[in-house]
């Protein structure tokens, strides 16, 4: 996310699927799980992702807010007034010490971990269901094999 919206990397990733949908949408109604991570509000990015995946079977959309702006990785927070960290902390950012505890990851948030695990169970439940058409094809092929 950047500025509350999907960032260029996320949009680029989604556009890589263009070849699967530009003539015949082979992804239509396919089950997917979406995940949106950002350091603050994720609602707009989540809505963008829902819109991008509107022709798929969006089983779950997990949102995670880390409260860790990208400025923490940049390391130039003491001199920058354009970044999110300055907007969040104001002049206090000039003396801010960045520590490991400044970084929050979804893996450390029990609610997010549970939401992702629940989404994975839903997806696995759909993907692991026997496909009647495929099973009929396998049985039909086995019957037609001379050595079966």
**Kind of pairing between the strands at 57-65 and 31-38:** parallel
Of 126, 128, 117, the residue nearest 35 (C-alpha)? 117
Instruction: Locate 100 and state its tokens.
Output: 């490991």
Hunting for tokens 């994720």 — which residue is that? 42
Half-sphere exposure of 5 (CA within 13 A, CB side): 7
> What's the predicted TM-score (pTM) here?
0.72
What's the confidence (pLDDT) of residue 134?
Answer: 54
DSSP 114: H
DSSP state string for 68-94 = --THHHH--TTT-SSSHHHHHHGGGGG
Burial class (CB in 10 A: 0-12, 13-18, 19+), 36: buried
Q: Where do the domains of the chain lie?
A: 1-67, 69-103
Q: What is the pLDDT of residues 88-106, one digit of tens each?
A: 889 998 998 888 888 888 9
Q: What is the pLDDT of residues 27-75, one digit of tens each?
A: 888 899 999 998 888 999 999 999 988 888 899 999 999 888 877 888 7
Contact between 75 and 87 under an 8 Å Cβ cutoff? The reply is no
Give CA–CA dist 80/83, Å, rounded. 6
Q: 3-state class of 124 per DSSP?
A: helix
């Amino acid at each position: 996310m950047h500025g509350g919206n999907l960032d260029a990397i996320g949009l680029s990733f989604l556009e890589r699927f263009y070849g699967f949908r530009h003539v015949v949408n082979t992804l239509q109604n396919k089950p997917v799980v979406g995940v949106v991570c950002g350091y603050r509000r994720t609602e707009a990015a989540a809505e963008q992702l829902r819109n991008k995946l509107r022709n798929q079977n969006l089983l779950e959309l997990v949102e995670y807010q880390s409260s860790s702006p990208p400025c923490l990785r940049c390391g130039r927070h003491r001199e920058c007034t354009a970044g999110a960290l300055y907007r969040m902390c104001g002049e206090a950012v000039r003396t801010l010490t960045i520590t490991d505890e400044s970084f929050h990851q979804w893996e450390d948030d029990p609610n997010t971990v549970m939401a992702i695990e629940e989404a994975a169970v839903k997806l696995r439940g759909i993907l692991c269901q026997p496909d009647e058409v495929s099973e009929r094809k396998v049985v039909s092929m086995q019957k037609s094999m001379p050595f079966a």
